[in-house]
Structure 1
Amino acid sequence: MTQEEVLTLLLVAPLLLLQSLFLFTDARKRGHKYWFWGLWGLIQCPVPLLFYFIFARKIFSEKKKIEEELK
């Protein structure tokens, strides 16, 4: 391995591990399929994180918008 490959690996590996850990713990706390999110978080970055926020956490839900308008 070249020096650049080693440095890239040292930067990417912790990023993927942290993302996976966050997805696993947050999905477990909220009752989603936590094993799926944790494993998917190890594969690539940041697509699983974006999909988790959009589909599992539903940050763009209509209910939230209505509640915010009522405040």
Structure 2
Amino acid sequence: MPYWLWGCLAVALLLQGTLIFHNAQKRGRGKWAWFWGIWGLTGMPTPLICYLLFVVLPDRKRADRKL
């Protein structure tokens, strides 16, 4: 695999982990934000899909019920 592709992969994983971490903090997931952020650094796109299924969608359903 060419070196530039390894670099792109590293940037993508770092970006994914950072975005998941910040989003988890914004949603009030305090201690779990670190878990989601570190897991986001390990692979792609499984951690992102799981984060969407287990955090984002339940929060949206909960917000819809309050309306």
Q: TM-score, normalised by structure 2?
A: 0.78
Residue ranges of structure 2 left out of the alignment (5+ in a row): none
Structure 1: stretches of 5+ with no match in the other structure: none
Paired position in structure 2 for 1:21: 18
Q: Which has the larger radius of gyration?
A: 1
Q: Once superposed, which parts of structure 1, at least 4 consecutive aligned residues long, lie more than 6 Å away?
A: none
Deviates more, 1:54-63 or 1:30-39: 54-63
Cα distance per residue 1:36-64 (max 9 Å; x no partner) = 00000000011000000110112684874
Percent same amino acid among aligned pairs? 35
Q: How many residues align?
A: 63
Considering Cα pairs closer than 8 Å and 6+ residues apart, tell me whether 1 or 2 has the greater RCO: 2
